[in-house]
């Protein structure tokens, strides 16, 4: 059974990619274009792994290749794929086997599940290329099984953002209240609190912008950012 996949379509709005993200897109697009390749994309939570996979999905491969992006949670939800000898023997949840399969959050897998799933995909489509993306645990999963370890042809890693990258990311959100005073110090504080992780930095910046909008006459300072961070931490606890 086959189905059409909407891929490599122009997008009205594309996220700004950092240098490392662009490099990862280029490397992984090359690997995904090679039949039977298995590639890894690793990095801490929030550094843009899903963004990279989405860029590959929309722009990274030539027209004509069927490509699908799916998370490990979606795969696990279809128990037929994870129970050896039971259920469907197809690569994805609806019976469609693409030429390229991008799997997000693969670090959430159990080693034997990952091996069984990759082998099942290849039985269904001998030339399928697979990109596994996840946090650092993914490297341990792959290393724990010689079949996976030997099959990997390329590894790409996404680091946390530099201050300059955080500045480019956060500046549009923080235009206004923090621009009148201590703007650079506010961005630096957000960057340091977030540890360069963009997902955390964006959330802090959005909360800071809300505070600025609530009182336009007030200049936002690094101390305000520290207060927001403490309140968010208490809420999370």
pLDDT at 217: 82
Please tell me the least confidently modeled range out of 20-34, 49-63, 155-169.
49-63
Taking residue 79's Cβ as centre, other Cβ atoms within 10 Å add up to: 10
- For the chain, which residues make up each domain, given as ranges? 19-157, 163-231
Taking residues 160-180, report their average pLDDT. Answer: 82
What are the pLDDT digits (tens) for 189-214?
Answer: 999 999 999 999 999 999 999 988 88
Higher per-residue confidence, 92 vs 116: 116
The pTM assigned to this predicted structure is 0.80
Would you give the distance in Å from CA 110 to the centre of its chain? 19
Kindly report the average pLDDT of the chain as a whole number.
83
What are the pLDDT digits (tens) for 107-140?
Answer: 999 989 999 999 999 898 889 999 999 999 999 9
- Contacts of residue 111, Cβ cutoff 8 Å, sequence gap at least 6: 141, 144, 145
Q: Does domain 19-157 have CATH number 3.40.50.300?
A: yes
Taking Cα atoms as reference points, which of 56, 77, 203 lies closest to residue 133?
56
Q: For residues 50 and 130, is the Cβ–Cβ distance under 8 A?
A: no
């Amino acid at each position: 059974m086959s189905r059409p996949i909407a891929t490599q379509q122009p997008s009205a709005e594309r996220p700004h990619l950092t240098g490392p993200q662009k490099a990862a897109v280029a490397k992984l697009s090359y690997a995904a274009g090679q039949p039977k390749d298995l590639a890894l994309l690793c990095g801490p939570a929030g550094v843009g792994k899903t963004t990279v996979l989405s860029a590959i999905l929309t722009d990274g491969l030539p027209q004509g290749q069927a490509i699908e992006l799916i998370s490990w949670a979606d795969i696990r939800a279809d128990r037929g794929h994870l129970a050896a000898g039971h259920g469907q023997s197809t690569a994805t949840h609806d019976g469609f086997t693409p030429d390229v399969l991008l799997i997000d959050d693969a670090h959430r897998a159990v080693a034997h599940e990952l091996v069984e799933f990759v082998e099942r995909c290849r039985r269904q489509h001998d030339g399928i290329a697979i990109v596994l993306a996840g946090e650092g645990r993914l490297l341990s999963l792959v290393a724990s099984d010689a079949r996976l370890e030997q099959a990997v042809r390329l590894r790409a890693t996404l680091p946390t953002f530099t201050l300059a990258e955080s500045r480019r990311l956060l500046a549009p959100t923080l235009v206004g209240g923090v621009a009148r005073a201590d703007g650079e110090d506010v961005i630096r504080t957000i960057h340091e609190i977030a540890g360069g992780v963009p997902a955390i930095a964006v959330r802090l910046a959005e909360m800071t912008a809300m505070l600025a909008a609530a009182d336009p006459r007030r200049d936002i300072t690094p101390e305000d950012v520290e207060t927001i961070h403490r309140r968010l931490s208490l809420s999370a606890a």
